Structure formats: C-alpha cells, structure tokens
Amino acid sequence: MIDYIIVGCGLAGISFSEVALSNNKSIVVFDNDSQNSSRIAGGLYNPVILKRFSEVWQAQGQLVLMNDFYLNLNKKIDSKFNFKMPILRKFFSVEEQNNWFSASDKVNLAPFLSNNLVYRKFKGIDSPYGYGEVLQTGYVDTALLLAKYKEYLLSLGLLRNEGFDYDALVFEEDGVCYNDLKAKHIVFAEGFGMHSNPFFNDLPLDGTKGELFIIKAPELEIDCVVNTSVFILPLGNDLFKVGATYNWKDKTDLPTEEGKKELIERIKEIILCDFEIVEHFAGVRPTVRDRRPLVGTHTEYRRVHILNGLGTRGVMLGPAMAKELFDNIENEILLNSEIDIQRFTKKAKRKL
C-alpha cells in the first residue's frame, strides 16, 4: 500500500507531491495534460494587489514557505526555474504616485512597497511619472518546472500519463483502491478539471479564462517586470511574456480575437515601439468566488481530499496550501476556516 494517489500535476499537484515526498510518504501521480493553466501561467509572485494597493492574503508567510520550497525543489530536479526580479508599477499621474506613498506607509505593506520612486529610462517606454518598486518579487518558469518535475517523477516510476477513471475508485476501511493501486489517501489537484470530478463538482469553482502573448520587440529593453493593467516580463532574445486578460464567461482554453485585441491595446498603453506577436495562448484559472483556495476532505469519504482553487497566485499559494492539507491529514491540525471546503458543504456523517 502506498500513502497517496495524487490526481493532477500542475502547481497544486506538484506542491502536494513534494510535501508528501519530503515527509517520506510514497506517492503515485496521475496526469494526462488535459489542464494547461499552470503550464501557460505568467508565473509571477507578487505580495501586493497593485490594482487596489492591498496586501495579498497571508503574503509574508506564503513567501517564506515558497522560497524554501522552490530552493529545495531546484536542487532535486537540478534546474533553475525561480528567478528573482523586481516588479515596477508604472505611474500615469501624480495622483497614482500619491496613492503609492499612502500605501507604502501602511504597516502591512511597508515590507513590500519601496517608498523611493524609480525614474529609470527604459528604451521603448515613456514614463514621465516614474515607477513604484514592489519588493520580494519574481517569477517561476512554470512550463519548465512542470516539464522537469514530470521527468523526475517518471524517472522514479511515480507518474502515470493517463486520465483518471472516477468509476474505478473503490473505498475500503483503510484506504482506497484504484485498479492495481491501493493507497491510504487520494488527493485531487485537477484545477478546472474538477468540474468532471463527481466527488467535488458541487464546489463553486468558477474558473477565469486568461489569455497571454509572447511578443518580440527588439526596440524594447527592460530587465524587470513592468506592470500596469498587464505585465510585461522579459524572457531574453527580444522576447517578452505579456498578460493577462480576465474572462469570467468563456471556459475554453482557446485564444480569442477579443482577447487578442484587448492585449494589443493594453501593450500600446505601456510601450512605444513596434512588436510582433510570436505566440498567443490561453487557459482557465481555477478561481473561487470568495478568492480563497478549496482545501480539505470529502464530507462522506475521509480518504478523499482536494487541493484546488489556487487561482492567479498558484506559484505563491501552492506550497503553503499543500502543507496545510498534509498537516491536516497526517497530524489532524485543523485547516484555516477560510480555505476549508466545509465553508461550502454541509457536515455529514462520514461513511468511510
């Protein structure tokens, strides 16, 4: 018998897999590449919601866990995917500057917002009002991370590249059985694919579609992330990742002309130079209406768990939420009520 079957190998699945392995638990991971939101994500980690100048929920604790988590993972898979990089918020007026200073004076935001304005001159950008610098920021190359981690799991015989058949799951007193596997627990970390999961598809996972570009702009020279209504992230070789849109109605992962038009308009608000669209891609982020993750155990089946709803901040949230779920399962430490799925479900007598 193994300890965990994990369904999904995006940011949530990787996070839980690593927490389990680091605690000497045995795992098998199922993933069929049906969900791509983690793979195509911008990958930025930023402790501040720049639209409202407010702190991301539990930002400092998440950053501490995240940095240790990715440092250890980097050593394990021998690949650098975590890049420290400043995020500069471009200002369009004196009023925006004043709002920044007001925010940086707040106790909870002071560690994250520099109170010195930046007036660097970047080729291809006009910024007469300068920038505000967000501290403790960077990005994770999520596509590289997912690819390398799957290679790592495959090398150990821990990954099965196949879909999961919910009907084949059998419940027993001491665990669950799935075809040739028997496990103490099963964790579903399927992202937006949760809607096909009969155990958790009643949870309010909304899903927010995001579209991004890779652009080529030889006349643009930046060595940091520039953020306004979209972010521009330098990738090297005159390439930049740009995103992202937010669409709450369309639940497909297909790029649209509407999204393309919106991104082009927003890019032109930031840069003055010409650019070429090299790639246009889209994915559906697993978002929840109260902007908190979905973590916990099924109301009837005590061996069945979920880690989902990481939304737009999966890079930061993943390690912290995986640790919370693991500690809840293994050590019976109560989950934070803000993330526990019981906030949406009625308590019921467990069957198994």
pLDDT tens for each residue of 99-113: 999 999 999 999 999
Those residues of the chain that have pLDDT short of 70 are 346-352
Reported as a single tens digit per residue, the pLDDT across 18-55 is 999 999 999 999 999 877 777 788 899 999 999 888 99
Strands 159-160 and 27-30, sheet pairing = parallel
Q: What is the pLDDT of residue 51?
A: 84
For CATH 3.50.50.60, the residue range(s) in the chain are 2-41+143-204+289-343
Domain 2-41+143-204+289-343 superfamily per CATH? FAD/NAD(P)-binding domain (3.50.50.60)
Residue 348, preceding peptide bond in cis (omega within 30° of 0) = no
For CATH 3.30.9.10, the residue range(s) in the chain are 105-136+208-285
Q: What is the pLDDT of residue 216?
A: 98
**Which pairs with CB-CB distance under 8 Å and at least 24 residues apart come from 247-252?**
247/208, 247/209, 247/210, 247/211, 248/206, 248/208, 248/209, 250/209, 251/192, 251/207, 251/209, 251/284, 252/209, 252/282, 252/284
CA dihedral in degrees (261, 122, 109, 58; nearest 10)?
50
Q: Rounded to an integer, what distance in angstroms lies between the CA atom of residue 337 and that of residue 350?
A: 19
Q: What is the pLDDT of residue 352?
A: 46
Q: What is the pTM of this model?
A: 0.94
Q: What is the DSSP letter of 95?
A: H
DSSP count for the chain of H helices, then E strands:
6, 20
- If one counts every other C-beta atom within 10 angstroms of the C-beta of residue 26, the result is 13
Helix, coil or strand: residue 184: strand
Choices 3.40.630.30, 3.40.50.620, 3.40.190.10, 3.30.9.10: CATH for 105-136+208-285? 3.30.9.10
Q: Rounded to an integer, what distance in angstroms lies between the CA atom of residue 228 and that of residue 106?
A: 21
Strands 181-188 and 2-7, sheet pairing = parallel
